[in-house]
Every structure is written in C-alpha cells, then in structure tokens.
Amino acid sequence: MSALLGGSQALWFVSRASGLALLAAFSAAVVLGVAARLGPRLAVGELHRALALFSVAFLGLHVVTAILDPYVTIGWAATLLPLASPYRTLAIGLGALAVDLGGAVLITSLARRRLGYRTWRAVHWLAYLTWPAAFAHAVTAGGDLRIWWVALVLWGCAAAVATAVIARLLAWLRGPDRAALGALR
Amino acid sequence: MTARPRLLVPGPPGLAGHTARYGPPPALPGARQRDALIAEVARAGLTGRGGAGFPTARKLAAVAGGYAPVVVANGTEGEPASAKDRVLMASSPHLVLDGAVLAAEAVGAAKAVIVVHRDVRAIIGEAVAERARARVDPVRLEVRTAAEGFVAGQASAVVQWVQRGIPAPTATPPRLAQRGLRGAPTLVQNVETLAHFALIARHGASWFRSAGTPAEPGSMLVTVLGAVREPGVREVAIGTPVGQLVDLAGGPSEPLRALLLGGYFGTWVDAAEALARPFSSAGLADLGAGPGAGLIAALPVGARGLSETARLVRYLAGESAGQCGPCVFGLPAIAGLLERLAEGRGADLGQLRRWLGQVDGRGGCAHPDGAVRLVRSALRTFGAELPVPPGGRR
Amino acid sequence: MTAPARLRVDFIACDGRGLCAEALPGLITLDDWGFPIVSGQAVPPRLLADARATVRLCPRLALRLEAGR
C-alpha cells in the first residue's frame, strides 16, 4: 500500500500538510463564526459554512493518511476515541477529541432544520472547545515548530482566533446597538 | 335581553346553588354522546367569546382527533378595560367549570387547566375544591393564576405561561390544536365560551339560537365603560343595537363623541354612526369594527380622541411581549408620532402611515395588528383634530 | 407544475440580521428597523432555487417557504 503511495514519506508529508491546511481552514471558519456580527452578514455566513465543509475534506485526508502511514501505529479507533492510540496517546487523543466535538457541531448544523434552533445553538457552543483541542493537537502531535512557516501558520491561527474572541467579548460588554429581542417577562 | 339572563343568573353561591339554578350537566358516557355534543355545538353556531370569534365546534373537532389532548380555560382577561370574564367567573364559576369539564370530555382530555385572573383566583379555587370533594367531575381540574399583561390572554401565551412561566405567544404552525401544552393537542377556550357551551350541552342548539341573529346566534357579555352613568358588565343578545347597550349602562353621562368598540385593539367609531348599529360582526363590519372582546368605551364630546389614542398606543407598545422587531420598535415609534400629533406639534403623517403599514401583520401574534387598527380608526374618526400642515391639506 | 410557493417570516424567531434581504433583494426588503418584508406573493419559478437557498441560510431559521393555497 505504501509502495503505491510512493513510500511512507509521502503519507507523512500529506498528513502533516493536510493537518496544517485543516487548522488554517478550521481557524478561519471559527473566526468567521465568532466575529460574524462584525462583517457583512451574508458573505460571512456563507464563507463560514464553506470553510467548515473544506475543513471536513482536509480532515478526511489528514486522518486517512495518518492512519495508513506504516511508520506509526495509530489505528482507526483513535480517530474518534481519545485514548485509543498507542502512539503518543495524549497528542493524538486531543485530535480525536476535536473530531468528536467538531463532529457534533457539524451533524447538528446539517440537521439544523429538523432539530430546531435551540438544540442547534446549544451544541454549536462546543465549537469553543473544539478549536482549543484542535490547536493543542496541532502543537503536540503536529508540526515541528522549529520550521519557521509551520510556526507561522500555527501562531497565525491562534492570533486570528484570539482576536476574534476578544472582539466578540468587547462587543458583548459594550452591549447591543439596539434592544435585544426575546420574551421579556 | 337582560329580561332572561343565561350566564349571569342570580342565585345562591356554591355547587348546590348552581345545580338549583341550571340543573346538572349531562353525562357523556361514550364516544357517541361526545360526538353528538360536538355536533350540537356546531348546529348551535357557538363562536369564541375571547375576541377572535372562531367556530367552537371546529376547534373541538380538531383537538378531539389528537392523542392525549388537554383543555385550557382562558380566564386571563388581559384587556384592562374588559371585566366580563371576571364578572362571569365570580357569578357563575361552576358554569365555567362545567364547560371546561364537558369540553375535556368531548375531546377526550383527562385534564383541564383553568387559568384565571388573580381577582377571581380564590373563588375559582374554592369552586374547584368543592367539586373535588363532591367528586362530580370525571376529569382533573387544575387552577393557575393568570399572568398579568395585555398579551398574556392570547391563546398561545396562556399555554406558554402554564408550561414555562413566560406569557409570550408562540409561532403557528404548529397550531395549538395539533401541538400545544407540552406538545399535546390543546383546546384553549375563553371562559365565557365555555359557559355558553355548558348551557348548550343542557338545552341544545335550538335553545341557544333563540337569541341573537341567525348568522351570529346566542348571547354575549358586554362591558360598557367611559362616559356612561352605570358602567358595568351586562348580558345581551348578539345584534342588540349599540345605543340600547349604552342605555342599559344608564345612558351617556354627557354627549358622546365617539365609541371605542372591541377593546384596546379595536376600533374608534363616530358615536352618531355607531349607536344605530347592531352590536355584532355583521352589523359593524362596514365600519371596520367588530364586537371584539365585547367592549364599548364611550368618549364624550370635549375629550381629545388623539390624546386618548396616543395614551392607548403607548400602553400597547409597553405591553409587547418583546419578541418581534416590528412590534418592539414600530409601536413605540408610532406612539411617539401620535403623541406629537395629540400635542398639536407637527408630525409626518406620511411617516405614520408608512410605519402603520410596516407593523401591520408583521408579528408573532395579532398585537401589532390591533394597535394599527386602533390608530387607523383614530385617524379616520378624529381627523378633525389633526394639525393642518402649511399646505392646508391633511 | 408545482403549487405556488410563498415566503413567510417567523417574526418570533427573526432577529433582523438581514441575510435574507441581501440574498433575495428582488423578493425581500427591510423595514425601517431592519426586519424583512416579504410580499406574500408567489415566488416566481426562476427564483425558487434562490428562495430555497435563502431559507437555508437564515441563521435563526426564521424564513419559510410554504406551499400556497
């Protein structure tokens, strides 16, 4: 199998590269979701969805190449079960956690109309746990931070997400521009 | 029609007094009797007395088809100018409760929730306790104090109040008859409607139709207030002339300028025009008015109709459940313009009309619609009070 | 031939975010407070796909496409 894929080096590279691309796409999606109100609504909303779906594609590639890579033994179960990988259990486990949480967000978003707004919204908050898990996985299991551009991508993603979260917090503290709607009594 | 009251028959209080006055309610042992009762209500042509006037038999049939339905008796009376539901519940609590129990039996519900204005909570609570001791009811009765506020009497708001303590209307679909209180098919009926229902169950459709008009049969409770000598609640045949209703209330205490018909969500009509009309949907339709919640408020000559209306709209704006943008933002804006107009300061009538158009029909319930109706009727009826713009035309 | 479809707004769910008006400017405009005005007319067949997409992208699930009567 690895011979067909040009040697395990190729799998290792693709796994790393797709992981970085995944983090970048996912971070961008999170930034757009967190700071949605600060931009043009329609464009931001559609871009958020598109990036989330791109992330799923990168995730697929990332997970498959990592598991098929004969150099390390991870096992398919480790995709979803955080403590199932014999190789670097914690680091991989963080990735599995991100997949679990992100999966819940994704599935509820796809089934949003059927589940209703409240359920969808409640589960969507898990995104605030998904990103840190994904980032922690990237730092511990992933790129070699001594490579300058890997560090750039990682810290760039962190800076973008942090900025978005701070902007959202400030907006929340400032209060809404007009009266919020909702059953008052 | 006060010669033979139906709902407000005076007599000794308590279950025994009630049974002496009205006789016992019929038993509904099986499905045949239950369906027959619903058919009888259909023949009687009973419509809702809460303001919407929906055919009661249709509601009953819709809920009866559902699984594990529940009945909610709506005695909230959120309309502050109306007193009829409270008067009914205080005078004939057992008639209302009979109606609730019969309605529950008719639709196959095991329980009826009686939601009542706090003024009559004690009376209704006592009546229910008395019935429980006498074991007269095949269904469970639960009493809840109603929420305060104008919108609290809206059917879905009552359901939300019972379910989660917030009297806010919900979106339809789904209709309450399909999914209401805790997901069950729910029949919400005004307490006066249930009282009429309890009498139809005893005396039949022909008896019910012996009062009122062929299209709108039966009697109704009407609250008359404002510039009349004896304001209060009286029972009358539907279609009784408005002037007669004012006379029953002691006649005008001063010459009248206009009448507010239906409720705070109703319609201002010029007094001279209104007094001759029958107090019925058909009789008032071409004036853009209706009996609504059975309310007539008399405005004397010399009162400023626009000021009154501005006050009412400011009240209605404050009573919004706060869920829908056009209502939350539009009603205060409209109130502001009306206040300016009432004070004689200039205001952009075009802007007002635009906002009325933007608010009408754009809410989760009919609250903004009612306010718009009120304002439009005020502009028609009190047009003479509007400041004349520099061009000379309004 | 499909039955005429109408756009309907659930104003209890609607928050006035305005994505719908941006997506379907031909059918949806905003009132003075940022809330959507839908005409209640049948959606023309050539805009049906766009209307369905707009229904999907409302963040509050407040827009509905209903079969007309």
| Position A185 confidence tier, pLDDT thresholds 50, 70, 90 | very low
- The minimum CA-CA distance between B124 and chain C, rounded to whole Å, is 33
| Position B2 confidence tier, pLDDT thresholds 50, 70, 90 | very low
| pLDDT computed for residue B317 by the predictor | 97
Which long-range contacts (C-beta less than 8 Å, at least 24 apart) are formed by B164-171? B166/A183, B166/A185, B167/A185, B167/B321, B168/A183, B168/A185, B168/B321, B168/B322, B168/B323, B168/C12, B169/B321, B169/B323, B169/B364, B169/B365, B169/B367, B169/C12, B170/B364, B170/C12, B171/B364, B171/C10, B171/C12, B171/C13
Would you say residue B190 has pLDDT above 80?
yes
Higher pLDDT, B297 or A88: B297
Would you say residue B172 has pLDDT above 90?
no
| Position B347 confidence tier, pLDDT thresholds 50, 70, 90 | confident
φ, ψ of residue B256 in degrees (nearest 5)? -100, 140
Average pLDDT, chain C: 90
Residue B163, amino acid: Q
| pLDDT computed for residue B331 by the predictor | 97
Would you say residue B161 has pLDDT above 90?
yes
Domain containing residue C35: 5-67
In this predicted complex, what is the ipTM? 0.93
| Alpha-carbon distances of A71 from A13, A65, B222, C15, rounded to whole Å | 12, 11, 87, 52
Within an 8 Å CB–CB cutoff, is residue C15 touching chain A? yes
| Alpha-carbon distances of A177 from A37, A171, A173, A180, A181, rounded to whole Å | 11, 9, 11, 9, 12
Within 8 A by CB and 6+ apart from B89, the residues are B75, B96, B116, B117, B120, B123, B124, B191
Within an 8 Å CB–CB cutoff, is residue C60 touching chain A? yes
Within an 8 Å CB–CB cutoff, is residue B325 touching chain C? yes
| Position B288 confidence tier, pLDDT thresholds 50, 70, 90 | very high
With contacts defined as CB-CB under 8 Å, which chain B residues touch A182? 322-323
Give CA–CA dist A77/A102, Å, rounded. Answer: 17
Would you say residue B300 has pLDDT above 50?
yes
β-sheet with B140-145: strand ranges across: B140-145, B111-116, B70-75, B186-190
With contacts defined as CB-CB under 8 Å, which chain C residues touch A120? 61
* Helix axes of B367-381 and B305-318: crossing angle, nearest 10 degrees: 170
- Inter-chain contact A181–B328, Cβ cutoff 8 Å? yes
In this structure, what CATH number is given to the domain that contains residue C63?
A: 3.30.70.20
Count CB pairs under 8 A between chains B and C: 45
| Position A2 confidence tier, pLDDT thresholds 50, 70, 90 | very low
Question: Are B306 and B265 spatial neighbours (Cβ–Cβ below 8 Å)?
Answer: no
Mean pLDDT of A70-97: 86
Average pLDDT, chain B: 94
Centroid of chain to Cα B344: 34
Higher pLDDT, B23 or A176: B23
Would you say residue B109 has pLDDT above 80?
yes
Domain total of chain C: 1
- Domains of chain B: residue spans and CATH: 14-209 (3.40.50.11540), 219-300 (3.10.20.600), 305-385 (1.20.1440.230)
Beta bridge partners of C37: C29
| Alpha-carbon distances of A161 from A46, A95, A158, A174, rounded to whole Å | 18, 18, 5, 20
Tally of CA atoms within 13 A in the half-sphere of A72 that contains its CB: 19
Give CA–CA dist B207/B223, Å, rounded. Answer: 24
Residue A144 token pair:
């070699």
Alpha helix positions (H), chain A: 8-34, 41-68, 89-110, 112-115, 117-124, 127-141, 148-174
Residue B324 has its nearest CB partner, among C12, C32, C34, at C12
- Print burial letters for A130-144: b (CB count within 10 Å at least 16), e (below 16): bbebbbbbbbebbbe
Question: Are A62 and A25 spatial neighbours (Cβ–Cβ below 8 Å)?
Answer: no
Mean pLDDT of A177-183: 73
| Position A72 confidence tier, pLDDT thresholds 50, 70, 90 | confident
| pLDDT computed for residue A184 by the predictor | 53
pLDDT in tens, A91-129: 999 999 999 999 999 999 999 989 989 899 999 999 999
Higher pLDDT, B354 or A171: B354
| Position B391 confidence tier, pLDDT thresholds 50, 70, 90 | low
Within an 8 Å CB–CB cutoff, is residue A113 touching chain B? no
Average pLDDT, chain A: 88
Angle at B80 between CA B74 and CA B81, to 5 degrees: 110
Residue B214 token pair:
């062929």
| Position A39 confidence tier, pLDDT thresholds 50, 70, 90 | confident
- Inter-chain contact B321–A184, Cβ cutoff 8 Å? yes
Within 8 A by CB and 6+ apart from B390, the residues are none
